[in-house]
């Protein structure tokens, strides 16, 4: 069975959570709790590009706030 997260021929969405984290997500799978769709469905390349535009750091929003205090 092919991993749906690695399939270059499927449609994807970009999800975001309350912490400002973003994720590439297969459009055929249900959106997990506490995440929302912010882009797509579209191609894998388009969604990966959008994740790179939207998410500038690996640290969640809470961690970024604590570091700046």
Instruction: Identify the band that residue 2 occupies on the pLDDT scale cut at 50, 70 and 90.
Output: confident
Neighbours of 63 (CB within 10 A): 13
Res 24: pLDDT: 94
Cβ pair 21, 42 in contact under 8 A: no
Distance, in Å, from the CA atom of 67 to the CA atom of 60, rounded to the nearest integer, reads 11
Nearest-10 Cα torsion for 61, 39, 37, 66: 0
Q: Is residue 62 part of a domain?
A: no
In the chain, the number of structural domains is 1
**Domain harbouring 34, CATH code:** 3.90.820.10
Range of the domain at 33: 12-57
Res 4: pLDDT: 86
Q: Is residue 20 part of a domain?
A: yes
pLDDT digits (tens, 9 = 90+) for 12-61: 999 999 988 899 999 999 999 999 999 999 999 999 999 999 887 666 65
| Residue 49: φ, ψ to 5° | -60, -40
pTM for this predicted structure: 0.78
Q: Is residue 4 part of a domain?
A: no
């Amino acid at each position: 069975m092919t991993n749906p997260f690695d399939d270059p021929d499927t449609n994807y969405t970009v999800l975001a959570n309350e912490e400002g984290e973003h994720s590439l997500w297969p459009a055929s799978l249900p959106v997990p709790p506490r995440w929302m769709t912010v882009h797509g469905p579209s191609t894998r390349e388009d969604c990966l590009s959008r994740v790179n535009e939207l998410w500038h750091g690996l640290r969640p929003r809470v961690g970024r706030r604590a570091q700046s205090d």
